Amino acid sequence: MENEKKGKTQERKLKLALPKGSLWSTTEALLQTAGYRLSGGSRGYRPSINDDDIEVKMLRPQEIPNYLIGEDEFDIGITGMDWVKETGADVEVLLDLNMGKVKIVFAIPDEWEGINSFDDCLQRFIDAGKPFRISTEYINLSLDFITGSKVYQAAFGDLKPRVITPWITYGDNDQVVIYLSFGATEAKPPEEVDAIIDNTETGSTLRANNLRIVEIIDRSSALLVGNKTSLADPWKDEKSKDIMTLLQGVVDARQKLHVFMNVKDENLPKLLDHLEALKKPTISKLTGDGSKGWSAINTIIPRADFLKMIPMLRKYAQGLVVYEPRQVLPLERFKNESC
């Protein structure tokens, strides 16, 4: 009986959902830097991973939040903050992965002049007595944005825009119509719709399709999210923390530099006054001929501060060596409570 229990424990898997599509390449790079190796992810939907406790499946990021609710679903997953908001899924946000950053924008044909806001655009269509058509993958975010408009509220009050999808049509305002898009949203204007609400990283695709961003509605980045039911299981919670530690280590490392330098002892106080570190820099005396009165400093600094520090380092340090750390693991943050 005891052996059966052990066997079942060994067979346990943490089910991890990874995003197919535009987020995949950055997700794969993050996982590889964290120490995970995946194979078969670029073509298949069930890549293998070098951790026998993890089972992976690829899904569209739009779908992942809703598959992280309740029992017998996925335990953790990587998706965009935009899709967590759009679905309204009751998931636990575990980490902001500081990648896959996009803006959710309202964009119109570039040739339209005199329009600098959504309200400007909507008022023009109201004045012309024409229905205003918008294409988007973000139905709920768009509804919140549109109905929050002062011009919309003044003209239509509590009426909800008409929403048209292949399987359902709802809403009672035929003067503002939202069409669900299944991709290539930027190609819809001006024939199928008048404007779009879409995500963009740089805006280059919108510009290539003769569209102009008028308003930024929201900003999003990739998140590691968890199933609240799964995280109540001690084993899954601890396994999730292992993954969180490794991924956060990569996120933090990308913002740090590891530096070594030699400094005259008389210059140490001047240098240390300006040198940030995770806690305190490691300082050791140099030994050997000609090393008297010199010390070595070993520390980690914010990457963003490095260029500003160069004049000070040139003045007080010698033999500066700079490394890009692979990971800076926040072990204390995700400590095993049972230890």
Number of residues that make up the chain: 339
Q: Which residues of 304-321 are buried (b: 16+ CB within 10 A; e: fewer)?
A: eeeeebeeebeebbeeee
Q: Which residue has the tokens 């929403």?
A: 163
Domain annotation for the chain: domains and CATH numbers:
2-100+222-253 (3.40.190.10), 103-219 (3.40.190.10), 256-323 (3.30.70.120)
Neighbours of 210 (CB within 10 A): 12
Q: Which regions in the chain score pLDDT beneath 50?
A: 1, 4-9
| H-state helical runs in 99-225 | 118-128, 139-147, 150-156, 204-208
DSSP string, 63-96: TGGGGSSSTTS-SEEEEEHHHHHHHT---EEEEE
Per-residue pLDDT, 41: 58
pLDDT tens digits, 48-77:
999 999 999 999 999 999 999 988 889 999
Nearest to 51 by CA among 64, 38, 68: 38
My answer on whether omega of the bond before 190 falls inside 30° of 0, hence cis, is: yes
Position 196: which residue type? I
Predicted pLDDT at 8: 47
| Whole-Å CA distances, 253 to 3, 20, 28, 97, 250 | 42, 25, 17, 12, 5
How far apart are the C-alpha atoms of 124 and 264, rounded to whole Å?
A: 70
| CA 160 and chain centroid, separation | 31
What's the rounded Cα separation, in Å, for the pair 250 and 270?
31
